[in-house]
A and B are shown apart, each in its own frame.
Chain A
Amino acid sequence: MTDTVKQHRDLSNAKDMIVCQGVNKWYGDFQALSDITATVKETEVVVVLGPSGSGKSTWIRCVNRLEHHQSGNIIVDGVELTNDVRNIEKIRSEVGMVFQQFNLFPHLTVLDNITLAPKWVRKLPKAEAEEKAMELLEIVGIPEQADKYPGQMSGGQQQRVAIARALAMEPRIMLFDEPTSALDPEMIKEVLDVMKGLARSGMTMMVVTHEMGFAREVADRIIFMEDGEIVEVGTPEHFFTDPEEDRTKLFLSQIL
């Protein structure tokens, strides 16, 4: 039975976790993001959909300041993203990110991958960081792999380690940039299950994905983007059954 509890939650009183106001970004001549305005509430799960090249990855990376937006404001957990040295570090340790290509550190064991940032950014003692890491590996279901190197694991296992690595920083927001796109079909489920569990635990999440099932099941809201613009925003039922915009309809007809 799918968990549909979240879909009818009233989040209007919840705190704003991510606020984007009129965000623009260009790559030379090409405008990657135009006038993005959106808000993500605490504990909300937002899924960003859209054809490839629609700017959804760029947006999510701007939220983590891996890319710099050129105008507008992005406010994450009350802190505005600017060139301020201090804010960048602060935001990054508040926001966890999971990449399409996992990006585990190949020269470190799984355990070292997870404990690296807690030790050096959160300044946790080694023993505590390792204990925490083992708990997280337990949660993502691969405690026995702690001493392996990433190269010795399957893609699904690597992505679960990547999630554990991001969680080890105890972030308040998790960003997922197409976490299942580089996986073989039989491994997608194990990663999605971990993400569903995370959503149920009340984590604020922003997910870029092509997994429509996941979007329908877990999302509180769906944002549809095309050509760097937000085309439509709505609840999953509304979005999948009764979309307003023609572009959304076209997109849905192509993928469903």
Chain B
Amino acid sequence: MTEPTSPNVTAGGRVQLARPKEPYIPPREWIRDNLFSTPFNSILTVLFTALVFVMTRGMLGFIFGHDRRWEAPATNLRFLMTQAYPDEQYIRVWFTFGWILALAGLSLAAWNAAPRVGYRNLARKAASVGVAVALIGLVAPAMSTSGRLQYVLIGAIPMAAGIIALKILDNHDTRDMSAFVVQVLVVAGIILSLWTVPYGQHTFVDGAARVDSGTVAQSTKLPLTIMLLVIIAAFYVGRTIRPHFKQLKAVLGGIWLLSPFILTTLVLRDPAFDSGHLLSTDIPIGLAFALGGGAILWLLSSAKAGETGRIAAAIILVLAFASFLTPMRMIVRIDALMLAGAALSSATFAGSREARLRFVGGWMGAIVIVNWLVTATNTPSTVFGLPTGTFYGGGLTLTLIITSFTLIFAFPLGVTMALARTSKMPIFRVMSTAYIETIRGIPLITVFIFFAIMLPLLLPDGMEVAKIPAIVIGYVLFSSAYLAENVRGGLQSIGRGQHEAAEALGLTTAQKTLMITLPQALRVSIPPLVGQAIGTFKESSLVLIVGLFDLLFIARNVIPNTSGFLGAQREPLMVASFIYWAGSYSMSKASQRVERKLGLGER
């Protein structure tokens, strides 16, 4: 797994420092120093060991208890993941999953993000996993002797392998491998075991529990194996093209950003969706504004536009406002307003050919996103469903959809609010401060209830909003206030000198903000922003209270009500907890790694 280039230099040309070698301490000394250094410490050690023992035993007793019904979450795994997505269309879900994995593999390769694990460290980890597994067998209450023996034997294999490896490798062995490979190997092992172990033996036919070929293992072993191959293939493709493809990171970032839109609209949507209205009305309007507006902006952003350009922009603004007085589709009015805004700012972005192209491209992107949004929330049978209609996909899928859309839209709003709050203009500052502090003062749950119940009432006639987009809008407004505070911290860390230098060069306020202030502020705010992303993921569970079928809702309210598993609440809840935990924990670990990497680069 060594890199073609020198392993110590990452893609950014930054040098990673080699970790200093740990000095060897004999176990006896280590135990004395770390566990029994003083009488007080000895007491603590004994107490805490007892505590750990009791807790572990209790936990294991719970997990392996005879009355545990783990088959409840196992059989209903599909419910947890996607709710009742139509069986015959399930290929769409797998496609979505594969898409995300492929992107993940490519990104891991492009950013060279996977950490590296030393061989000795790996051996140590293997040994401790083995010990842990063996201990489970020894400690767990209420387990048959043969069961205990199984665990001990299974644990003995990695334990022995680890210890032998440690003996063979000398103390100063510095070889390492990518953690990605290790993870893939572990996951591959689990997936391969699906081919032999029939997990989730229960399935329901006509309301009766039966053991048959439709077990979780049977129905997922092939797709999961393909998924494994997809991510491995993507990783290697990424590694191969990385040296030849300079914009790889930018392109991947763009695809990541667009994925939620593409996947929810094109892949996960209602399979029987009628696209007549879409083709006859929505797409033509969007296209007209994207192309016509693009042409206007192309002209306005010419360096020669000058005074005429400003007058033209003002005329567009007046026309846009006038559109509110005439009967017209709301989307046309919104698009016209956006065009006016872009026209007013076109002088700022005017410049060379490529600058103008980028400006017009940005305009088209914005118009596509806004039109998509309005269409998606307003049209029956997109993934978001109708106020009364069915929703295609729930469970973890819904949790992720809510999280990703919230993050995508809260980001620009939050940044705007942070800019307004740090601006020198008092009314902007007061308005954004009032907004941020009000939102931060009220609990999320009241926001959700408000938007679930009230938002439909606030809209004018002819505009509808389904429950999921309503909740997402509320969540966006809520998150943006917190995000604004995080970004504000970054903005405040930028010295006055940076502003002055930018002003002295003649950059306009917009240019200064976009090119000088924000890039620096956002870099500083990465750790709190990741923390907030984790929070957004976790707190999306609150949609349970307004009755959306997210992961937690399925685990708490749906599975315990399925026939055969009545009242089995704790088992699916534990599975849901584990899913949330795994997501949050891995994100926070990854962010700590990024933080260390950035900290190293800044020096």
Contact = CB atoms under 8 A, between A and B. Distances in A.
Are A and B direct contacts in the complex by CB distance below 8 Å? yes
B497 A101 contact: yes
Contact of B505 (A107, A116, A123): A116
Given A107-B520, A116-B515, A120-B515, A125 B504 contact: no
Interface string A49-93: 000000000000100101000000000000000000000010011
A105 B500 CA distance: 11
A102 B486 CA distance: 28
Nearest to B500: A66
Contacts of B500: 61, 66, 99, 103
A254 B598 CA distance: 47
A117 interface: yes
A166 B505 CA distance: 7
Interface residues of B, number: 27
Contact of A105 (B350, B516, B523): B516
A177 B516 CA distance: 21
Interface stretch (B220-228, B246-254, B352-360): B352-360
A141 interface: no
A123 B504 contact: no
B506 A125 contact: no
A126 B503 contact: no
A104 B506 contact: no
B308 to A, nearest CB: 15
Contacts of B42: none
Interface residues of A, number: 30
A104 B516 CA distance: 10
B506 A121 contact: yes
Given A116-B515, A119-B355, A106 B506 contact: no
A103 B519 CA distance: 15
A106 B504 contact: no
A126 B358 CA distance: 13
B509 to A, nearest CB: 10
Contacts of A107: 519-520, 523
B280 to A, nearest CB: 42
A116 to B, nearest CB: 6
A108 to B, nearest CB: 8
A89 B507 CA distance: 8
B503 A120 contact: no
Contacts of A212: none
B498 A103 contact: yes
Contacts of B498: 103, 105
A105 B352 CA distance: 22
Given A103-B498, A120-B351, A89 B516 contact: no
Interface string B7-39: 000000000000000000000000000000000
Nearest to A93: B506
B603 interface: yes
B303 interface: yes
B172 to A, nearest CB: 32
A124 interface: yes
Nearest to A96: B504
| Most chain B CB within a 10 A radius of its CB, from A95, A99, A105 | A105
Given A107-B520, A123-B350, A117 B603 contact: no
B508 interface: yes
Interface in A111-165: 116-117, 119-121, 123-126, 151, 162, 165
B278 interface: no
A97 B504 contact: yes
B54 interface: no
B505 A99 contact: no
B511 interface: yes
A119 B352 contact: yes
Given A107-B523, A119-B355, A125-B353, A92 B515 contact: no
B501 interface: yes
Contacts of A162: 501
Contact of A117 (B303, B495, B505, B523): B505
A191 interface: no
A169 interface: yes
Contacts of B353: 125
Nearest to A85: B508
A165 B303 contact: no
B602 A151 contact: yes
A89 B350 CA distance: 15
B441 to A, nearest CB: 34
Contacts of B501: 97, 99, 103-105, 162
Interface string B514-550: 0110011001000000000000000000000000000
B352 A89 contact: no
Contact of A66 (B504, B515, B516, B602): B504
Interface in B341-397: 350-355
A150 B501 CA distance: 14
Contacts of B503: 66, 92
A41 B303 CA distance: 32
B355 A123 contact: yes
B504 to A, nearest CB: 4
Interface string B580-603: 000000000000000000000011
Contact of A106 (B502, B507, B520): B520
B507 A117 contact: yes
Contact of B351 (A119, A151, A165): A119
Contacts of B502: 105
A99 B497 contact: yes
Given A92-B504, A92-B506, A120 B355 contact: yes
A166 B519 CA distance: 21
Interface in B454-495: 495
Contacts of B495: 101, 103
Interface string B269-312: 00000000000000000000000000000000001000000000
B497 A169 contact: no
Contacts of B520: 105-107
Contacts of B519: 107
A101 B350 CA distance: 31
A158 to B, nearest CB: 12
A66 B504 CA distance: 7
Contacts of B351: 119-120, 123-124
Interface in A30-63: 61
Contacts of A125: 352-354
27 contacts: A64-B504, A66-B504, A89-B508, A92-B506, A93-B505, A93-B506, A99-B497, A103-B495, A103-B497, A103-B498, A103-B500, A104-B501, A106-B520, A107-B520, A117-B507, A119-B352, A119-B355, A120-B511, A121-B505, A121-B506, A123-B303, A123-B351, A123-B355, A151-B602, A151-B603, A165-B505, A169-B506
Interface of B: 303, 350-355, 495, 497-498, 500-508, 511, 515-516, 519-520, 523, 602-603
The 8 A-B pairs of least Cβ separation, nearest first, read: A103-B501, A93-B506, A92-B506, A117-B505, A103-B497, A97-B504, A123-B351, A125-B352
Given A123-B352, A124-B352, A169-B506, 8 more contacts: A93-B505, A99-B501, A103-B498, A103-B501, A117-B506, A120-B515, A121-B505, A162-B501
